[in-house]
Structure 1
Amino acid sequence: MERKELEAAVEAILFAAGEPVPAERLCLALEMSREQIDALCGALADRYRYDRCGLRLVQLGESYQLCSAPEHAPVIRKALEGRRPPKLSQTALEVLSIVAYFQPITRAYIDQIRGVDSAYTVSQLADRDLIEPCGRLAVPGRPIQYRTTQTFLRSFGLSTLEDLPELPQVSTEEGQAARALQERLALLRTQAESGAMED
């Protein structure tokens, strides 16, 4: 296939999928290497931006997706107002931030950080596909661990979790509490991994 045909094929696949498509699937479908697919998608994304198209080709981790250009958000919102999901509450944003920065994390640790029960909010975020279960912690009771999803990345305009902004500086006391929590989580993960190896 010629380059124009390959670009058209990528557009067709991503449009038909309507969700992120792993780069490896594009490689298989188009019989191309990962480097060639990345270069092709990069060139296509640049062309969309340069031509000021209504679409953008975005990379989400190891996947690619077609989405609308952010500058058209107001008119899209106006046209599709009835379909727009309700905004996230302050509580939901707080829980989502905790999951994003400390994932994988259990609900008990979310509750410990916030100081209140977060069961309803965790369930709500999972229903909106912003977080998802990602296994169980190897401790008594085997609690479910949660992580963010590709919908989270797309919703916040991130390609990977490394694009998250740095956590703000906190007071010495808060910093010590955060470090203690991170050390505790690291210890639990180590225990979980060693427990998994024994299984």
Structure 2
Amino acid sequence: MQIGAPSLREILRETGLLITFRTKGESGKMALSENDYFKTLYGIIEKKIGDAVDIELYHNKRRIREFVKTAHKKGTIVIMSNHDFEKTPSKEEVIMHLHRMIGLGADVVKIAVMLNSRTDVLTLLQAAKEFPSKLPTPLITISMGNLGKISRLAGGIFGSALIFAAVAQTSALGQIELTHLKQELEYLHLN
């Protein structure tokens, strides 16, 4: 008799699972057509693989709206994300992108930017601080690069609802390993 491997859902039990599929346009490994990208996302929510799914902002807006409606009907949380791997946009641009995501129906909005200077750290944190806290939409802000580590640690103080950490190998510049993150947050009393 062969016993099957436990499903990810059985292993995680009550822990929420976010499914993210990054296309090449957002620094992922695979270039997909619009049709294949949305086919992949619909497959994720149809099979109820995760509790939440990440959708990239730069795709066709009509198709994003349709997907968000379907995801909500299926009980899936939608995190909408935007990544800039070259620079940190102005504070106003960051806030504009966040509002655009809300307008498309996102349950959670996420923006990740590349830091090229110390001022860039402050720009993103200021945008997070000024993003209307009265809105019911949680915000995730990420600064990429070594300088960005401070924004990952202090993001919660400025309104960011989540920190991405690596269990083993980091997947993004400036990402902190989970064991270090726990220690640093405890030391800073930010948890």
Q: Provide TM-score, normalisation by structure 2.
A: 0.25
Q: If each structure's helix is expressed as a fraction of its own residues, which one has the higher value? A: 1
Highest RCO, 1 vs 2 (Cα 8 Å, sep ≥ 6):
1
User: How does the TM-score come out when normalised to structure 1?
Assistant: 0.24
